[in-house]
Amino acid sequence: MSSQELNIDELELDLKNPRFDDLTSQRDALEKIVLSQGSKLVNLAEDIVANGMSPAHRMLVMKAPGRGNKGFTVMDGNRRLTALRVLANPSVLDGMSGVGDITAQKLRKLAKDFDLNLIQPLDVFVCKNEAEARHWIEAIHTGENDGRGVVGWDGIATARYRGKNTSLKVLEFVKAAGKLDASELAALERFPITNLDRLLGTPEIREKLGLTFEDGDILSDLPQAELLRPLKKVVSDLASKKITVAKLKSKDERLAYIDSLGSALPDLGKRTGAPEALDRLAANAQAKSHAKAFSDGKSRSLLDRKALIPGQAQATLNINDHKLQQICKELRKLPLDTYPVAVAASFRVFLELSLDHYATEKKVPQYNADLHLKKKVEAVAAHLQANGVAKRDLQAFRALASNPNAALCIDRLHGVIHSKYTLPTANELRTGWSEVQVAFTKIWS
C-alpha cells in the first residue's frame, strides 16, 4: 500500500459498495448514496466545507480496471467522494427525484461556499489488490475485533475529552471522597455515565441531592458527609446495574428512584449557603486522604510504594497525550530504589510537558514555551487557583519553583541532569510526588 495524491475526477465510486445491491453505474451509485444518506451527507458536506478532509481517515483506493494509471476505484470513502462531487458540481442533484427538497437545498447552499482547490489533490492510500483493501475496510467498519479494529470510546472517555461534564465531576468526587475498595473502583471502569447525565439533568433530582448548576459547573453547599451519602449510593447502583436506563426513561421513573433512596438522601436542613464546586470538593477530599496516609502509622508508608506515581486508582491522571501517557506509564513502573536518577530525569520531562500541555489546552495568559520552568509552574498554579483549586492544595506545587529544600524542587531536578554531584534518593522522590499529586490530578483532570 502506498500514498498518492489524486484529483476527484480520477476517482470513481465502488459499484460493489456493500451498502447497496446492484449498482449499475456511477450515476446510479451517486444517487443512491445521496438518497440513503440524506441529512448525514449534509452534515458530512458541512464539515468538509468548514474543516476540509480528515487527515486521520484517508480514502482507500485501487486501480480501476481498464483505466491505466488515471482511474481509481474508492474502496473506502464513497460517502466522502459523493459529498465532494455534489459540492464541486451541485447540478448532479438535478433529476434525483427521490432526494428530498430540504436535503438538496442544503447541499446546494453549501456548494456556494466550497472551493475544490482547497481540497485537492486528495491524499489517498492505493491498495495493491482487493484482499489488502478488505483487511483495512474490515478494521474500520466491523467493530473492535478484539482490538485490531477501531476501539470506540466509552461514555466516560467521551466526557473527559469533551471536558466540563457535570456527571464526570460527580463521579470524581465519589472516587476521591468515597473510600472505595478495589472492586468498587473496578466497577467504575465501564460506568454508564449517560445514565447519570439523565438523572442530573432533572432539576427536581438535583434539588433533592443538594446540587445546583452555575455557569455550567455543578456545586453543593452540603457538608461532605451529607453530599457523599446519596451520590455514592447512586453511583453504586448505576455501576452495579442495579438501576439501568430502562428504569430511568421517564421523569416519573427517575423521581421514583431518587425517592427510593430514603435515608440515603441528604438532610437539606444542613445546607450552609456557601456552595462550592464539586471538583474543588474532590480535590479537598483527596488532599485529606493523603494527609491521613502520612499521619496514620498503620497505613501503607511511603516506603511501600515501589514507583514514583501510584496506580490510576490512587492518582487519577486522565492524560490524553501519547508521549506523556508513555512517560507516566514508565513512572508508574520503574522501581525507585533501582533507578532514582532515571526517574528524577523523567519526572523533570513529565513536569514541563504537563505544564505546556495544560497551558495550551486552557490558554493560560502570558504563558509560552520559552518561559523558565519556574515561571511555568507559577503561571499554571495561578491559573489552577483562579479556576477553583484551593490555595492550600497548591502550596507544595508552588514550592517546586520557590523552595530549594522541596523534594522535587526545580533546582534539584536541574542538578540531577547537569551536575555530577546531585544524586536523588528514592525516599525524597516518593515524598516529593506525594506532596504534589493533588496538583497533577487537577492538571490532568
Q: What is the pLDDT of residue 266?
A: 94
Q: Give tens-digit pLDDT for 377-404.
A: 999 999 999 988 888 888 889 989 887 7
For the chain, percent of residues with pLDDT exceeding 90: 29
- Each residue of 299-328: b (16+ CB within 10 Å) or e? eeeeeebebbbbeeebbbbebeeeebeebb
Q: What is the pLDDT of residue 301?
A: 45
Q: What is the pLDDT of residue 261?
A: 94
Give the C-alpha separation, 83 to 107, whole Å. 9
Q: What is the pLDDT of residue 254?
A: 94
Query: Cα-flanking dihedrals φ and ψ of residue 214, to 5°?
Result: -150, 120
Give the C-alpha separation, 312 to 305, whole Å. 14
Contact 319, 328 (CB under 8 A): yes
Confidence of residue 292 (pLDDT cuts 50, 70, 90): low
Q: What is the pLDDT of residue 302?
A: 45
Secondary structure E strands in 224-309: 276-277
Q: Give tens-digit pLDDT for 11-34.
A: 888 888 877 777 888 898 888 888
In this predicted structure, the answer to whether residue 298 has a pLDDT above a threshold of 90 is no
pLDDT, mean of residues 207-228: 88
- Mean pLDDT, the chain, whole residue set: 83
Q: Give tens-digit pLDDT for 154-169.
A: 555 554 444 456 788 8
